[in-house]
Structure 1
Amino acid sequence: MPGSDAPSLGLRMAMELRALILLPLCFPGLQGQSPEVQRRREGDALYFECPYTAQTEGWHIKYWCLQKGGRCQEVVNTYYGHEKKFKDGRIKIEDNATSKTLFINMTDLKAEDSGTYFCAIYQHYNQYIPLRVVTLDVFKELLKWELDTLAVQCPNSNSVVWCRREQTDCTVLVEGQTSSRRSAIQSLQDRASIKYAQETPTVTMEKLQTQDSGVYWCVVGSEHTQIMEVVLSVFKRTQQHTAEESGNISVQCHYKIAAYGAASKAWCKKEEGNTCNVLVTTSSEPPAGPSTAREGVRIQDDTQQGTVTITMEQLQVQDSGVYWCALQERSGLFRMEEVTLSVSKALTPGGFPDTEGKSRKILLGDSPEPSSNGNTFIILSVVLLILFLLALITSIALGVRHYKLLGRTGHREAEDTSDRPEGTAQPGSAGRRESSQDDSQGPAYINLDVQSQPSPQDPLYCNVEPSQAHRNPQHVEYAVIAFNHSPRSGRE
């Protein structure tokens, strides 16, 4: 189909509308009916009901038809009330006379099952009474990883066009592409191809990327009629790494040896937009895109294991960002894996960030550097031990001093008692009575100490208990009272 334009969505809708207009003309019973649209992915099922009226109850043969050119292409029918199956048993029909309803069940749907269907009652001479119409859209849903290869077999056709559906039309990728469309998706067109094997066309798309996700059609004929729809979702592999400033990291990315063992590999940093700045590459040729060499970045490709290893040394905070392991080709870079790197400031031994951006270490011999929590615990333990020792020493000193004071006080009291004349009252001492064990056998004495110096005119009293006064005393009890008078001037 060289020179033909891309099939537009509006053209396809016009063709379907024309078919729907012809359908009521061939089947008047469908006039006024709006076809339902049922969208299913491959492997799903369609369950459809077609009620009918009592007027048609006597007609037993009912059909499930695929509309082709305004006519009924029989898919499955009921013959004398018996259920019949289509091909491999995926489609069956059942007539319930009690509920006056025709049931259609299509299981394990395939992309080639897409089309406009209707259920009908056979009248005579290839005449049908349509009951209900539905447009079935069955699509393939494919999930792929980046750098995977897509291979899709379109239904048998001698001329197949592979296009990508956009908002208003379908942009052709293989066969019939126009120059106005090639520049917009040149990379995707270079990776798409159609090959025929035993008259079966196979569409291939290589080096898939996330931006390849979308809806694709196989279309045929001069009118570009859709025969299959593919919904493609491409996912990227990701890694996340964290490191401290002045540290190192090592990143490994894997690939399929058979497909990409001989390809050049690159390590680039994602910039604004879709630009990825190449830092290091295994290719001897300069990259097609932007490139900036950076010291301390090395790349090694192990083609035996299918592994690319990237090493970055002396990391800085500004090295944080998004990086790609990528295939490097003349047409550009194709991402293998996306790596997110986060570099944080190094911490000092005290647990605070180094404001100068350099890590400082204090080494004590060959022992490892303790953590900040360990340092704090040791310091607190030493301080508490010192305080405890000080408290213990202070308590012992106070106890010894108190003991010595008590000893001295007792010695002085003993000296004062021995030096004081017996039976003499001293000023400042309390009055007390001393007697022998038996008052009746010896004289009794009363020593009276006066706290203050009395005046000669002040009377003195001596109280004697009645028990101590004998009616016939044989001994005389007396009291000796002594005063220490202070000298008075001019008086005697």
Structure 2
Amino acid sequence: MAMELRALFLLPLCFPGLQGQAPEALRLREGDTLYIQCPYAEGTLDYQTKYWCLLKDGKCQELVNTYSKQFSQDRRIKIDDDARTKTFSVTMVALKAEDSGTYFCAIYKSYYDYSRLRTISLIVFRELLQWELDTLTVQCPAGSGAWCRGQADCTALVSRQRSSKQSEIKSQRDRVTMQYHAQGPLVTMKNLQIQDSGVYWCAPGDSRHTQKMEVVLSVFRRTQKLTAKESGTVSVQCHYKIADYSTASKAWCKREEGKTCSVLATTRSESPAANSTAREGVRIQDDTQQGIVTVTMEQLQVQDSGVFWCALQDGSGLLRMEEVTLSVSKALPRGGFPDSGSQSQDDLLGDSCSGNTFLVLSVVLLLLLLLALLICIALGVRYYRLLLRTGVREAEDTSDRAEGTAQPGSPGRRESSQDDSKGPAYINLDVQSPPSPEDPLYCNVELSQAPRNPQHVEYAIIAFNPPPRAGRE
């Protein structure tokens, strides 16, 4: 960072009129696109060449310009000039971590004389996602001499020693190494753990405040969740890379809050470590041919619930391979209710009653539905039969009326004269029982046949339409 600040300090001396301009900081992910617009003054001539420069050793390293933009060495960089808006734009696609640096857009005035318009401090970080126990390999740019961790200040995990002629320098942590090559040092981090997540960067050997390449590392743990019943058995399988860890010792430990992971079983032939709490019923087997560690726990108890690790076991301690969360629940005895260790019998009885009540209500509703269906069917059949009976009676009444009955219930019949058109119609009534003098008699008679002084007179007029005649003879 100091060299970069010194270069920025020399800019006003190399490029007049740059005083008071501070670089804009941009932070982009590898693979993103950088788009910059650089407006220029109205008096700028159209033929004046516009440049996109990388600040290097206090000078402009020309990357692309509007005069020979088609001859740009890096095809990822394009420049366009809009004379109407007095603005030229720069686009950098498919950014790489090696593109990090200080850039500026400028207008050429004379020999080695540029008028800078806008300065960009660009950081392109490489985002890496790894699993625990994976190996991270990073190729640093040429000129790098240290592998640092931290957002601003460098905490060197490994660095190149000027007085050393070794080609490989190991840090205090054996998991981080640096190998030096012509194209730049190669950094390797083994046995990654979740706490290794963070920001790393390559720095020059003489200045650990200048970032040459930044890496954002995220390490994820492999997890499993298992459930089991009390007095039962659970089996767990953990996978590993055969080439890296087939010869390493494996362990099964339980993680306690605020404590180290207590070893319950190990593949070591010697006695367990000092923090071991090995107990009966826990077995561990290592299949080095397939890279699988199998752990079996028998006669489980509720207190066995917790967080466990499949881990590598070496001199520095335990390195987690996978994290297993185990939940052991109480088993129901033959009576159907557990003891009052974790849940009261009343609570369990209430839960059971709630389930039984729901079942009973469901059965009752089903029976009511079936009963209602049967009632509807019975009513439908009865109504159908009633309709049939009504139809028969109507048919009988119709036949009786067709015979000329004058009074309902009377067995009279209609007789007509041979020629209905010549006179009134007559109705003969055959009364089976002698009528009472008080009963009215209905008939149509000639006026001459009517009694002189009738006591009761009731009138009835019966008209019949003449039947159609087939024809006249």
TM-score range, shorter chain: 0.5 to 0.7
Matched with 1:218 is 202
CA contact (8 A) 1:41 1:139 kept: yes
1:264 pairs with one of 213, 233, 249: 249
Change (3 A) 1:16 1:288: farther
Unaligned runs of 5+ in 1: 1-11, 178-185, 358-371, 385-492
Of structures 1 and 2, the larger Rg is shown by 1
Amino acid at match of 1:341: L
State the Cα distance separating 1:244 from its structure 2 match.
Answer: 1.3
Q: Does the C-alpha gap of structure 1 residues 75 and 88 become closer, same or farther in structure 2, counting only changes over 3 Å? A: closer
Does 2:282 correspond to 1:294?
no
CA contact (8 A) 1:156 1:199 kept: yes
Amino acid at match of 1:172: A
Equivalent positions of 1:405-416 (< 5 A) are none
Structure 1, residues 244-289: CA drift from partner, whole Å, max 9, x if none? 1111100110111111111111000001236110000001234556
Is contact 2:171-2:177 (8 Å) kept? no
Residue 345 of structure 1 deviates from its aligned partner by: 1.2
Aligned to 1:124: 110
Distance 1:307 1:53, change over 3 A: same
Deviation at 1:321, TM superposition (A): 0.5
> 2:290, 2:340 → 1: CA distance?
43
2:330 to 345, 356, 360: 345
Helix, strand or coil for the counterpart of 1:49? strand
Q: Quick one: which of 200, 204, 222 aligns to 2:184?
A: 200
Q: Which residue of 1 aligns with 2:429?
A: none
For normalisation by structure 1, the TM-score amounts to: 0.65
Q: Percent identity?
A: 66
CA contact (8 A) 1:112 1:228 kept: yes
From 130, 133, 155, the equivalent of 1:171 is: 155
Partner of 1:229, secondary structure, is strand
How far 1:349 moved relative to its partner? 4.3
d(CA) in 1 for partners of 2:132, 2:171: 15
Q: Give the one of 132, 141, 164 matched to 1:155.
A: 141
Q: Structure 2 length normalisation: TM-score?
A: 0.68
1:28 maps to amino acid: P
CA contact (8 A) 1:326 1:333 kept: yes
2:233 maps to what in 1? 248
Per the alignment, residue 75 of structure 1 pairs with 63
CA root-mean-square deviation:
2.7
> AA paired with 2:216?
V
Distance in 2 (CA, whole Å) between partners of 1:58 and 1:88 is 25
For residue 25 of structure 1, what is the aligned residue in structure 2? 13
Letter in 2 for 1:147: L
Match of 1:61 in 2: 49
> Residue type of the partner of 2:328?
V
In the alignment, does 2:32 pair up with 1:44? yes
SS at structure 2 position matched to 1:19: helix
> For the residues of structure 1 that align with 2:326 and 2:172, how far apart are their CA atoms?
30
1: CA distance between counterparts of 2:50 and 2:243?
55
Structure 2 match to 1:235: 220
For 1:342, the aligned partner's letter is: S
Structure 2 distance, partners of 1:287, 1:113, is 51
Distance 1:286 1:86 in 2: 68
Moved over 4 A (4+): 286-289
> May I ask how many residue pairs the two structures share in their alignment?
343
Q: Give, as a single letter, the amino acid of the residue that structure 1 aligns with 2:177.
A: S
The DSSP-based 3-state class of the residue aligned with 2:213 is strand
Instruction: Compute the displacement of 1:187 (Å).
Output: 9.4
Unaligned runs of 5+ in 2: 162-169, 343-351, 365-473
**Residue identity matched to 2:245:** Y
Aligned to 1:313: 298
Aligned counterparts, 1:379-398, within 5 A: none
- The aligned counterpart of 1:481 is none
Letter aligned with residue 297 of structure 1: V
Q: Could you tell me whether the CA contact under 8 Å between 1:277 and 1:289 is conserved in 2?
A: no
Contact 1:115–1:136 (CA under 8 A) maintained in structure 2 = yes
Tell me which residue corresponds to 2:435: none
Amino acid in structure 2 at the alignment position of 1:26: C
Gap change, CA 1:55 and 1:287, over 3 Å in 2: farther
Residue 226 (structure 1) shift: 2.3
The Cα shift of 1:223 comes to 2.3
- Separation of aligned partners in 1, 2:265 and 2:97: 45
| Counterpart residue number, 1:109 | 95
Contact 1:240–1:339 (CA under 8 A) maintained in structure 2: yes
